[in-house]
Structure 1
Amino acid sequence: MQSKEAAERLRITQRMLRHYENEGLLEVGRALNGYRSYTEADLRRAGRVRDFIATGFSTREIRAMSACLSDEGSGPCEGGIEKLLEKLEHIDRLRADLEEKRSAVIDRLATLQNGLATVTGR
């Protein structure tokens, strides 16, 4: 199948498909006319790449987990659990940092509101 149909089935753009290919995450065959020709296996692999990206993985991180992208690696794969645990730890760190920032903003807001209330007599 050609790029347009593949992109529609995956609910991504043709540009994203080319990006996956340029990043070495997907190797797509060509038809005699030179157009990209996607197989069902290509679609499954591209779908896995799309899903990893949606959960916060960079293309570099996904490339390191390439064994997890093929049909053979769609279940447990070499290093997959380790990489997912690393990503989860990273997300937890980001989440904690955001909570600290949120608390600081709330504290600052309360201070400003109290100061304004004192000045205006409210």
Structure 2
Amino acid sequence: MQAKAAAESLGITQRMLRHYENEGLMHVARNLNGYRHYSAADLRRAGRIRDFISTGFSTREIRAMSACLSDDGSGACEGGIEKLTQKLADIDRLRSELDARRAAVQDRLASLRRDLLSEAIL
């Protein structure tokens, strides 16, 4: 399958497919004319990469989990549970930090509104 059809089938852009390859996440065969040719295994790998990116993994993190991208064994990948558990902990930490920032902004906003209301009464 050529790049345009591959990208469309995955719901991503051709540029993203090239990015996966440039980052060393994929190695795609080329036809004699130099065009990339995506096999069914390539499409499954690209789909896994896309899914990891959509859940917050960086290309560096995904590269470290290359065993989770291949069809070899097609079951659980080595270290996959640990990596996903760590990502979940990172997301929870970020969420907690955002909740604290949100609360601080709400407090500041309430304070400013009180100040404006008291100035208007005077």
Please report the TM-score for the alignment, with normalisation by the length of structure 2: 0.96
Distance across 1 between alignment mates of 2:99 and 2:68? 33
Distance across 2 between alignment mates of 1:55 and 1:72? 22
Asked if 1:103 corresponds to 2:103, the answer is: yes
Pairs aligned (count): 122
1:70 is aligned to: 70
1:18 is aligned to: 18
1:90 is aligned to: 90
Distance across 2 between alignment mates of 1:35 and 1:26? 15
Q: CA deviation at 1:32?
A: 1.3
Whether the 8 Å CA contact 1:67–1:73 is kept in 2: the answer is: no
The 4+ residue runs of structure 1 with deviation greater than 3 A are none
Unmatched runs of 5 consecutive residues or more in structure 1:
none
Q: CA deviation at 1:75?
A: 2.5
Matched letter for residue 119 of structure 2:
V
Unmatched runs of 5 consecutive residues or more in structure 2:
none
Distance across 2 between alignment mates of 1:104 and 1:63? 37
The within-5 A match list for 1:52-71 is 52-71=52-71
Distance across 2 between alignment mates of 1:83 and 1:7? 27
What is the DSSP-based 3-state SS (H/G/I as helix, E as strand, rest coil) of the residue aligned with 1:5? helix
What is the DSSP-based 3-state SS (H/G/I as helix, E as strand, rest coil) of the residue aligned with 2:46? helix
CA change 1:115–1:104 in 2 (3 A) is same
Q: CA deviation at 1:73?
A: 5.1
Superposed CA RMSD:
1.1
Distance across 2 between alignment mates of 1:73 and 1:26? 18
What is the DSSP-based 3-state SS (H/G/I as helix, E as strand, rest coil) of the residue aligned with 1:57? coil
Please report the TM-score for the alignment, with normalisation by the length of structure 1: 0.96
CA change 1:106–1:71 in 2 (3 A) is same
Whether the 8 Å CA contact 1:7–1:14 is kept in 2: the answer is: yes
Asked if 1:30 corresponds to 2:30, the answer is: yes
